[in-house]
Structure 1
Amino acid sequence: MWSWNKQAWKTLWLALLVALVASCASTDEKDEEGLPSGNRTEQAFYEAAQRQLKSSQWEMAIKNLRALEDNFPFGNYAEQAQLELIYAYYRDYQNDAAISAADRFIRLHPQHRNVDYAYYMKGLASFTEGSGLFERFLPTDMTRRDPGSARESFAYFAQLMARYPESRYAPDAQKRMIHLRNLLARYEIHVANYYFKRGAYLAAANRGRYVVENFQQTPAIPDALAVMVQSYHLLEMSQLEATSMAVLRTNYPHHPAFRNDGTFNYKYFSGTGGRSLVHRMTLGVFEKSDPRGFDSRELYNAEYRPDEAPLPPEL
């Protein structure tokens, strides 16, 4: 009797072990692909991708969306999967892949009712291109970065606005275009400041004029005019200096380059007082010796203005 019971227990434990191994194998398959074991229908791929998108499992979502398109290129979910693949790439910080996927969708479905979304995502992916892990978690002055991706993003958003002005994505695209214009204009001012440091005053003047001519109504205009005043003064081009001065004084009388008596401070660019005691004692480790340059963002650009900073009367 005992022998039979022992054999029965061994059989029972063996059956449980087999069931457990089978369950683990099935679970592993589901964990790997997010699909029920053996279920590889179009709907299964799509539903798995939807769950993964909602739970921010971007890599898994990309895998299933691509598998759906590869296996069911003319299925009911194919076009929607292509759109969601753009989004998944973007959220996974694969910006180049997102742009390529958007281009492909536009090429394959130029008359699709949601093609405006593809144009919008192209601009958005370019907008964040170059923002690596460092920039995501620490504040970075994007106006000092290479403006190539900003120009590209502006062009993509402009395409969206031109082709689909009534798109639901148009208002957000327009706001981003304003931000990008401000960024591109400020970049030119940084370049002008650099030219001042190198003594290239004509090049600095040209950068200032370029901002005035191409980036009207951006917060960089006051500094662009100040750059022109300073440059033409150093170049001894008095007529151009006077013209730039008149425009700056009329439109931005509270620019920080003006003294209290309204005269232009030609030493404003390089700062005042020379090197401080702190700079001399620490050999410049704890205090920069570079000229301050023309940068009045805190006064004229709300994005950089501290809460306690007063608004100039012209604003």
Structure 2
Amino acid sequence: MNRNSEYGPKLLVALAALALSGAPALAFSLDDLNPFGPSKYEQKVDPQVPADHFYNEGLTKLDKGDYEGAAKKFGELQKKHPFTQHARKALLMEVYANYRDGKATDTTTAADRYLTLYPTSPEAAYVTYLAGQVLFENMPDIHRDQGNMVRAMKYFQAVVEKYPKSEYAADARYKLQVARDQLAAYELNVGRFYMKKENYAAAINRFREVLFKYQTTREAEEALERLTECYLAIGVTHEAQTAAAVLGANYPNSPFYQDAFDRLKGQGLSPKESQDSWISKLFRSS
């Protein structure tokens, strides 16, 4: 049965009876006339706040140094006005606000979202650079995990490869070299730790990492000298002699070469390169 046809006449009769009886007027709402009972939830109209309101509030908070508050305002704009030019600008500013706040995870998350949504925008190089920079500025010392530095290198490498003519490319190249030095120093530090434990196999693997991945860093000299020590310790003399010979050929004035030379001399040996050694092959191919 149609519910409108059932209740419509009854409501009209009731209202007519009230009017004819001369009874005093009653205050009632539409909920009073609802046969199903009053509305459970109050209906409110939520006026649309203009996008530039959120944007300007975000800028004001930025100017006052409230970077967390600014990031929230720019995020709110994106939720209220998605898929608009305002949303793109707000996401860019969210990246910047999080960067200024030193929040590495929030910065890179927003940056990755921006680069996914707007990969060809004029600001893509800047966003990529900021993502690398916030990780770089949170650089741990060489005694701690270097995950952030590895991630920073990926962003800087992207700047160099995708945006080589941008104003950020030169600084990205410089910081890539700094990051490589940092990672090489980390590997060296772990290798020294294993040497102290007389775990020479593990130490050699760490020094190999330095030469394979970071051969152009200043840590390569020490890695070759440490390899001389490790190979002498386990009796693999031809690799020890090769490490010292390659060290002398590439860094003849290095104090590490003198150390390696003296260690070999102490055992009646001298630097001598073996062409079959992995060390020799690595440096010949580079």
Question: Does residue 223 of structure 1 match 2:232?
Answer: no
Structure-1 residue corresponding to 2:124: 115
Distance 2:79 2:59 in 1: 17
Which AA in structure 2 matches 1:106?
A: L
- Listed as ranges, the matches of 1:28-67 within 5 Å are 40-67=49-76
Q: CA RMSD in A?
A: 2.7
Taking structure 2 as the reference length, the TM-score comes to 0.69
- Equivalent position SS for 2:164: coil
Query: Compared with structure 1, are the counterparts of its residues 65 and 266 closer, same or farther at alpha carbon in structure 2 (3 Å cutoff)?
Result: farther
1:248 Cα offset (Å): 1.9
Distance 1:259 1:42 in 2: 68
Taking structure 1 as the reference length, the TM-score comes to 0.63
Distance 1:66 1:129 in 2: 24
User: 5+ residue gaps in structure 2?
Assistant: 1-46, 267-286
Query: Compared with structure 1, are the counterparts of its residues 259 and 211 closer, same or farther at alpha carbon in structure 2 (3 Å cutoff)?
Result: closer
Distance 1:64 1:79 in 2: 14
Distance 2:87 2:257 in 1: 62
Question: Does residue 235 of structure 1 match 2:234?
Answer: yes
Structure-1 residue corresponding to 2:90: 81
Question: Does residue 93 of structure 1 match 2:102?
Answer: yes
Which AA in structure 2 matches 1:164?
A: Y
Query: Compared with structure 1, are the counterparts of its residues 167 and 266 closer, same or farther at alpha carbon in structure 2 (3 Å cutoff)?
Result: farther
* Greater per-residue helix proportion: 2
Query: Compared with structure 1, are the counterparts of its residues 243 and 73 closer, same or farther at alpha carbon in structure 2 (3 Å cutoff)?
Result: same
Q: Could you tell me the percent identity over the aligned residues?
A: 31
- Listed as ranges, the matches of 1:1-315 within 5 Å are 40-129=49-138, 142-257=141-256, 263-264=262-263
User: 5+ residue gaps in structure 1?
Assistant: 1-37, 132-141, 268-315
Distance 1:61 1:226 in 2: 52
Aligned residues: 220
Computing the radius of gyration over CA atoms, which structure comes out larger, 1 or 2?
Answer: 2
Distance 2:106 2:172 in 1: 20
The answer to whether the Cα contact below 8 Å between 1:189 and 1:208 also exists between their aligned partners in 2 is: yes
The answer to whether the Cα contact below 8 Å between 2:222 and 2:256 also exists between their aligned partners in 1 is: no
Query: Compared with structure 1, are the counterparts of its residues 210 and 74 closer, same or farther at alpha carbon in structure 2 (3 Å cutoff)?
Result: closer
